[in-house]
A and B are shown apart, each in its own frame.
Chain A
């Protein structure tokens, strides 16, 4: 597609429920990132996919968080047993490549999914 698409744009859920957030990256982009933006804070790295390589999960805050990327394209971020502190905007980004020395590695971001846990 022309840009990075994320859905839903807004999600309100009750504490303890599971949620799934979807990201559809730009066609041909091999790298995909998930970031979390909490109110008044910067972007917190969550997870990164590059082609068929094992994902970098070093930013996931707990084992309630997981992500998949099927067929090297669409990605789903799943949060199980949501807590109020999970409330944030979840941003997805994609880029052509993340290899160092391969260029500026410009990330294109989606508009985000705003999650509110009551």
Chain B
């Protein structure tokens, strides 16, 4: 089945850019998602990208997809303290009926 991996921790300074990376294994993956989880809350969809796209930009968020390397990244420009949260990469592939999530990356924004 699909395997999705992320690094567990990332620390950045306020105002810098954050880049959160994700790799997956199933080349038939169709939709790829980024969710944000703040403490004590459920997951909130940030953005998603369809597999026929290389890039998607939405305000401070930029998603890059490298299908050849099965690599997805989320870039947050001008990172703020309110961006501190856990960010989950999730993938749905052609054979799956549910999302497969990575372990989440804990982003800490330092003042």
A contact residues vs B (CB 8 Å cutoff):
4, 33, 35, 40-43, 45, 48, 50, 56, 59, 91, 93, 98, 100, 104-112
Contacts and interface: CB of A to CB of B under 8 A. Distances in A.
B110 interface: no
B101 A110 contact: no
B45 interface: yes
Nearest to B100: A45
Contacts of B30: 100
Nearest to B31: A104
A43, A93, A109: residue with the most chain B Cβ atoms closer than 10 Å: A43
Interface residues on B, range: 20 to 34
B88 A42 contact: yes
B102 A107 contact: no
A91 B102 contact: no
A48 B98 contact: yes
Given A42-B102, A107-B99, 4 more contacts: A43-B101, A48-B98, A93-B42, A104-B48
Contact of A105 (B31, B42, B101): B31
Interface in B1-60: 4, 8, 30-31, 33, 35, 40-45, 48, 50
A4 B42 contact: yes
B25 to A, nearest CB: 14
A115 to B, nearest CB: 15
Contacts of A112: 42
B4 A42 contact: yes
A29 B8 CA distance: 32
B94 A91 contact: no
B68 interface: no
22 contacts: A33-B98, A40-B8, A40-B103, A41-B103, A42-B102, A43-B43, A43-B101, A45-B99, A48-B97, A56-B97, A56-B98, A91-B43, A98-B98, A100-B94, A104-B31, A104-B50, A106-B48, A108-B45, A109-B42, A109-B44, A111-B41, A112-B42
